[in-house]
Every structure is written in structure tokens, then in C-alpha cells.
Structure 1
Amino acid sequence: MPELPEVEAARRAVELHCKGLICRASVADDTTVIEGMAPFDMQRRLVAKRIVAAHRKGKQLWLELDEPPSICFQFGMAGAVYVKGVKSTKYVRSAVKDEDEWPSKYSKVHLVLDTGVEMSFTDKRRFARVRLLQDPRLSPPISELGPDAYTELPDETTFADSVAKKKTAIKAVLLDQSFIAGIGNWIADEVLYQSRIHPEQPASTLTAIDCERLRGAIKEGKRSSSSLLAEGRLLMCRSCRSTMGFQRRRRHRGRNLSRGKWTTRTKWKKRRKPRQRRRLSPGRKNPWTTTGNLMVMTNQRGKGVQ
């Protein structure tokens, strides 16, 4: 699933390279992804319009046209924006190689601009949504989102007060897009680890210091990833300082934390036969505990967690 940095990288690619008059538009005949109108009608309303800006809130991306409506993209599980005509050294996930199929058979919206640049929004799993909205900020689902985790993060006092009102698990609170928009499953795991808070700890039991650490971890993730977006290196390991794109995240996170590599040993259960666990030496405590299918360090345990 695309995380917030990937959606922001797509927004920056479109903002820099895809401004111009739409000469030709092709919309897939997929009424599951194309929402609110017939694909042919959407295609007709896009032609001869000019893209003037690209905006984002949370994981929602929309292109502002010279006159309403705007075209909005909800990335879902596998949505992605690709730009033809941009060098592959820029925006690694968005660049298209000469040997690649174009447009992809999974393309849902394909736009050709008067500048010669072509843009395509693809979705292999059909969980994405494409809409035309008169005013995206005032229309669902964007109007139902909370403050953006990158650009509208509340101050310390407001953040702590908002968390204190929630009685559910803190990870569920972070994943609630009406609370903070843009934090997904993987980023939630990471910021909770960095702030040493157990994912299942009730949010109302967090102290002011816990909330300050949590907000700082979200802010630090924004700062470190923003400087690496343009090169496709979206994340930096806090221990070994190596940078990586989201394509490598699962492999990198699979390393053992005791060697100073990443936050969890494994997040998804393996289908192969598990290896026999080593027995701990007498008197030594197991530093790992399991919550759901996620293994976390015992120093993440908190109040209300069994």
C-alpha cells in the first residue's frame, strides 16, 4: 500500500512536470475505480483543460484544473502515478523506462499534455478511486480527513489533548484518518517504536512526555523523508543511517534489531516451516513480545497492555 511519502513524491512529480493543457485523455472503462460518473463523461470533461497545480492531503491527491472540477486520486492498495518524459534518475517510482509498456494495461487514467509529457494513474488491484470534485477540500472523502501529518501537524498541547480523549489503542488512533491524515500501518509501527510506546496501549493513558515523544517521531519522519523524496530514497534507518525506498522496506526491516538495523524482526508471518527457536540462557529475558502479527520490543509495553 502506498504510504504518505510516496503520495507526496507523486504530487511533486506532477507539480514539476505535468502542468499544461490536456490534449488527450483516456479513462478506463472500470466503474469500480472510476466513481461518480461514466468513464466516457470523465474523459470528455478532462480534454482541453489545463493542469495548474497538484495538491495532497493525507493520501488523497488531486489535480487543480483551470476551471472546476478537479480530478482526485485515492491510491488504495496499489495505486501509483507514472510520468513519461522524466529521467529515471528522478522520482524513481514515477519514472517510465523506454522498454516499459506504455500506457500500462492497468492504467485507469492516461493524460497527454501539450508539452509532450504523459501521465498515467495505474491500479492493479482496483481498490483505488478516481473522482471529479467541484471543490475537493469541501467534498468527501477529503473533507472528512483530519490535519495532514506532514503539513498540518498540531502543536504539542493540542496533540496531547486530542490523544487524551481517545480510549482505543494508540495505533488504532494513529490509523484513524479523521484524527491525523496520512499515517498508514507501516509508519504507525515505526513512530510507535521510535517513541517506545506499545501499539495496544490505550491512548488515554499516555503521559504528556509520551505524547511529546510520539509527536516528535512523526515530525522527525516528515523531516528525514522530505529531503529524500526527489531521489526516490524515502526512508532512513535510524540505526545504520542507510536510506531506502519503500520497495526495500520489508527486506530491511527483516533484520534483527539487536544488530542495530531496524524496528521489528518480522511483520508478516512466513509460510515456510519456522526455524526452531533458540533457548535463552538462564536468567535472560526475551526482549520480544507479540501483538497481533507484529513483534515488538518489550520496552514498548505500556499501561493497560497485557
Structure 2
Amino acid sequence: MPELPEVEAARRAIHDNCVGKKITKAIVAEDSKVIDGVSHADFEASLLGKTIVSANRKGKNMWLELDSPPFPSFQFGMAGAVYIKGVAVTKYKRSAVKDTDEWPSKYSKVFVQLDDGLEFSFTDKRRFAKVRLLKDPTSVPPISELGPDALLEPMTEDVLFASLSKKKISIKALLLDQSFISGIGNWVADEVLYQARIHPEQSSATLSKECVEALHKSIKEVIEFAVQVDAESIHFPREWLFHFRWGKRPGKVNGKKMVIHMWFFFYRSLKNRLKLEQIVINFLVIGFFIPVKRNRERCWLMGRKLSLSQLVAGLQRLYQSFRS
């Protein structure tokens, strides 16, 4: 699913290649599930002859400002993507359109030709995207209901801590709530929690100041780096969870199995004499990221209130399961 880094890469591609050019041709799909609230004919007529002034984004939404309203707005959904003919645009995980496919793609929802001959298309294979024609995209849902953009409007540590202390839901569920902070989806949430060593199911209100500091740092670093490389995952650091999470299979980091990498952080927590509660949390991170075939051990861990002796026993069971 495209998230903030992927949508920002699409916005940049439009900004760098299409701004200042006039739309000479537009083909909008007859697909009322994706093209929301306007007929394809009216949509096409509203684009023709207009000049693209800027490309804008908030969260996982993008809109094009034209020289006069209304403006096309794109909510990317699960598989929405921007393609520009002859221009390399980032291809995020499980991209629907290949270079060898027909142009424009059969999945194209909005196709545009510009006065210099350049062509671009917004596609959606799974049809969960929403494309709208709006006088002011920021004044109506979904953009008007979004929380601060994770890249453009980052919360301070103090604001984040105060906000989390009032939320009694799991931290991952809260990060996915676009009204709380916009732009973070599943892979970014998993990555920032993994790097901050916070279990996804931990209640947001129970996070310590130290955990929130780590989370704040992780959100900033993951998103800024992903945006810097235009969301090209081949450039993500090898130790990122991103490279292992999709197939849910164990992998290696720096030549070692991922479980060993996770054990190190548990050991470091013990060595630094953190509170028992934090040790338990770190241990449950191990339980969350073990492969699917270890579900029995994971459920055993996460379904119990653990004493220290049970914690050690659970650790031994996990260790044995990975040796077997």
C-alpha cells in the first residue's frame, strides 16, 4: 500500500515534470467506484485547457492545483500509483503496472497529455482509490479530517508524549489513525516501532518518556530517509524490517538471523537494568516478529501475565523453537 514516502515521490515526479504545462488531452475512466462524485465526461472537460500550477500532498493524499478550480484530488488507497511516460517514478512494493505493459494501462483512471507531449496516468488495479474533482481539496474530507502530516508538520516530543498519554489504544492502531497523524501506514508503522523497540500492541498511554523519545526519533528518521531516496526500497538500509516483513519469513541482518538481532536488544535491556515492565515489553517485541510458524510460542507469551521466572521460561522456549 502506498504510504507517505510513496505518495511524496509521486508528488515530486509531477512537480518536477508537469508543473507549468497545459493539459491538452484527458481521459477519465468510467468507474464510479474510483471516480467519486462526478461523471467522467465532466471531469475530462474540467481538465482540458488548464495549466498545472503545483502538486500538493497531505498524508497519503495528493492534489493538483490548476490555474483555476476545480482541482483533481487523489486518495491512493491500496494500489493507487502515478506513472509518467518516459520518466522513472518510484515503483513501490507490489506495483501493479510494469514497463512492458500497454500504455496507458488498462488500470488507468485518469490519463493526461500535456502541451509538450508528456503523458502521465493515475492507475489503480484494486479500485480502492478515490479520485475527486474539488474546488478546495483541503476544506473537505478526507483531507480536512487529517491530523498533522508526519513529514511536513512533525509533532514535538513533548506534544507527542502528551497526546499518547491520553490514548488507551495500541500504539500501532494509533499510528495508523490518520486523524492523529497522517501519512503512516502499515509498513512505516511496523518499521518505526521495530526501530524504537516498542511492541505494536502496547497501550499508547503506558509508553514511558524514553519510549516516546525513541518513537519520535524513529518516525523522523524512517520517513525522512524513505522520502530522501524517493521510496525506492532497494536503497533502504539492509537492517530495516521492511526487507523481512512481507513474506513473514526469517532473514539475516549483518550475517545473523533476525531472531539473534532481536535477542541482542533484550539482552541489552537486562544489562542496562531497565524496569521489569520494559524488559517484558522488549521481550514481547521478539514474540511479535517471530515467523508465523512460531505462533504457538507467540500466543503462549502474549496470552499470559508473566512473572520473571515465566519470562525466562518463555525465552528458553522461544530459543529452543528456533534451534529446532
- TM-score interval (norm. to shorter): 0.7 to 0.9
Q: Distance in 2 between matches of 1:4 and 1:23?
A: 30
Q: 1:252 to 1:15 in 2, by over 3 A?
A: farther
For residue 229 of structure 1, give the secondary structure of its aligned residue in structure 2: coil
Q: 1:250 to 1:98 in 2, by over 3 A?
A: closer
Residue aligning to 2:28: 27
TM-score (normalizing by structure 2): 0.75
Larger radius of gyration: 2
Residue aligning to 2:212: 211
Unaligned stretches of 5+ residues in structure 1:
266-284
Residue aligning to 2:246: 250
Q: Distance in 2 between matches of 1:161 and 1:112?
A: 48
Q: Deviations over 1:218-265 (max 9, x none)?
A: 0011232222118x34652363x8xx9x89973697514694576999
Root-mean-square deviation (Å): 3.5
Q: 1:115 to 1:287 in 2, by over 3 A?
A: closer
Matched, 1:68 2:69: yes
Identity value in percent: 52
Q: 1:28 to 1:206 in 2, by over 3 A?
A: same
Give the letter for the 1:102 counterpart: W
Unaligned stretches of 5+ residues in structure 2:
262-282, 307-324
Q: Distance in 1 between matches of 2:157 and 2:201?
A: 22
Q: Deviations over 1:125-155 (max 9, x none)?
A: 1101000111111111101000011111111
Give the letter for the 1:124 counterpart: K
1:220-299 to structure 2, matched below 5 A, reads 220-229=221-230, 232-233=232-233, 236-237=236-237, 239=239, 250=246, 254-256=250-252, 259-260=255-256, 288-290=286-288
Give the letter for the 2:57 counterpart: R
Q: Which structure is higher in strand share?
A: 1
Q: Distance in 2 between matches of 1:109 and 1:134?
A: 18
Residue aligning to 2:109: 108
Q: 1:91 to 1:154 in 2, by over 3 A?
A: same
Residue aligning to 2:197: 196
Q: 1:247 to 1:289 in 2, by over 3 A?
A: closer
Residue aligning to 1:156: 157
Q: Deviations over 1:86-128 (max 9, x none)?
A: 2x4x64569x987431000110000000021101000111101
1:44-83 to structure 2, matched below 5 A, reads 44-83=45-84
Give the letter for the 2:15 counterpart: E
Residue aligning to 1:133: 134
Give the letter for the 1:222 counterpart: I
Q: Is the 8 A contact 2:3 2:60 kept in 1?
A: yes
Q: Distance in 2 between matches of 1:129 and 1:264?
A: 43
Q: Deviations over 1:195-240 (max 9, x none)?
A: 111111111111111111101000011232222118x34652363x
Matched, 1:14 2:14: yes
Q: 1:115 to 1:58 in 2, by over 3 A?
A: same
Q: 1:262 to 1:132 in 2, by over 3 A?
A: farther
Give the letter for the 1:42 counterpart: F
Q: Distance in 2 between matches of 1:48 and 1:140?
A: 27
Residue aligning to 1:280: none
Q: 1:168 to 1:60 in 2, by over 3 A?
A: same
Q: Distance in 1 between matches of 2:55 and 2:259?
A: 33
Residue aligning to 1:275: none
Q: Is the 8 A contact 2:11 2:55 kept in 1?
A: yes
Q: 1:13 to 1:47 in 2, by over 3 A?
A: same
Q: Is the 8 A contact 1:26 1:43 kept in 2?
A: yes
Residue aligning to 2:278: none
For residue 103 of structure 1, give the secondary structure of its aligned residue in structure 2: coil
Q: Is the 8 A contact 1:7 1:61 kept in 2?
A: yes
Give the letter for the 1:132 counterpart: L
Q: 1:238 to 1:97 in 2, by over 3 A?
A: closer
Q: Distance in 2 between matches of 1:36 and 1:263?
A: 49
Give the letter for the 1:43 counterpart: E
Shift of 1:3: 2.1
For residue 289 of structure 1, give the secondary structure of its aligned residue in structure 2: helix
Q: Is the 8 A contact 2:78 2:128 kept in 1?
A: yes
TM-score (normalizing by structure 1): 0.79
